[in-house]
C-alpha cells in the first residue's frame, strides 16, 4: 500500500458558560456552505497550535496564546471514498482576549455562542462529532473509514 497524504486542520474549541463558539459558513463556501463550524483552518507548514492561534486572529480578531491551547480531540475523516483524508486537531483555549468579529465575510457570515448540548442545524457533521467527543472525554473519532473496508 502506498502512502497517502492527509489534509491537516486546526480547530479552536472555545467554551464559555456552557456555550461553544461556532461560525456560520458562507453559503458559497467550497466546503459546508451555510453550515455551522468551529473556527478552523489548514495547518500551513507550521505547528498545529500556531495555526489555531493564527486563524483565531485572522478570522475573528481573537488573541489566543499557543501555551493556552490544549489538545482535546482528534478526528480522522474520510468524507467519501474518493476524498482526500483529513485529520483535525481540536484545541481548547483556557483563556483568550477579545470578542469574535467577522473578518472574512466571504467565508463566515457570523459568529454565535451556542449551548454545547443544543448545537444549531445544520452543524458540520465532524464538528458535531468532535464536540460530542470532547464532552464525553474521548480523545479520538474516526468518520467515514468504513467505506474503505
> How far is Cα 144 from Cα 77, in angstroms, rounded to an integer?
6
The CATH code for residues 7-148 is 3.90.79.10
* 74-111 residues labelled b (16+ CB within 10 A) or e (exposed): bbbbbeeeeeeebebbbbbbeebeeebeeeeeebbeeb
Taking only the tens place, the pLDDT of each residue in 53-111 is 999 999 999 999 999 999 999 999 999 888 999 999 999 999 999 999 999 999 999 99
Stated pTM of the model: 0.95
Q: Domain spans of the chain?
A: 7-148
- The owner of cell 458540520 is 124
Q: pLDDT class for 149, splitting at 50, 70, 90?
A: low
Between residues 13 and 2, the one the model is more confident about? 13
**pLDDT per residue as tens digits for the range 121-135:** 999 999 999 999 999
Q: What is the pLDDT of residue 2?
A: 72
Percent of the chain with pLDDT over 90: 90
What is the rounded CA–CA span in Å between residue 104 and residue 108? 6
> What is the chain's Cα-based Rg?
15
Q: Are 114 and 95 in contact (CB under 8 A)?
A: no
Amino acid at each position: 500500500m502506498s502512502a497517502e497524504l492527509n489534509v491537516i486542520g486546526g480547530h479552536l474549541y472555545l467554551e464559555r458558560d456552557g456555550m461553544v463558539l461556532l461560525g456560520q459558513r458562507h453559503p458559497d463556501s467550497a466546503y459546508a456552505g451555510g453550515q455551522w463550524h468551529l473556527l478552523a483552518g489548514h495547518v500551513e507548514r507550521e505547528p498545529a497550535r500556531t495555526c489555531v492561534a493564527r486563524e483565531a486572529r485572522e478570522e475573528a480578531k481573537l488573541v489566543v496564546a499557543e501555551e493556552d491551547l490544549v489538545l482535546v480531540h482528534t478526528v480522522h475523516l474520510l468524507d467519501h471514498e474518493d476524498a482526500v483524508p483529513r485529520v483535525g486537531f481540536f484545541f481548547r483555549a483556557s483563556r483568550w482576549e477579545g470578542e469574535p468579529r467577522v473578518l472574512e465575510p466571504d467565508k463566515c457570515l457570523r459568529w454565535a455562542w451556542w449551548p454545547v448540548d443544543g448545537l444549531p442545524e445544520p452543524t458540520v457533521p465532524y464538528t458535531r462529532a468532535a464536540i460530542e467527543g470532547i464532552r464525553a472525554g474521548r480523545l479520538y473519532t474516526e468518520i467515514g473509514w468504513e467505506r474503505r473496508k
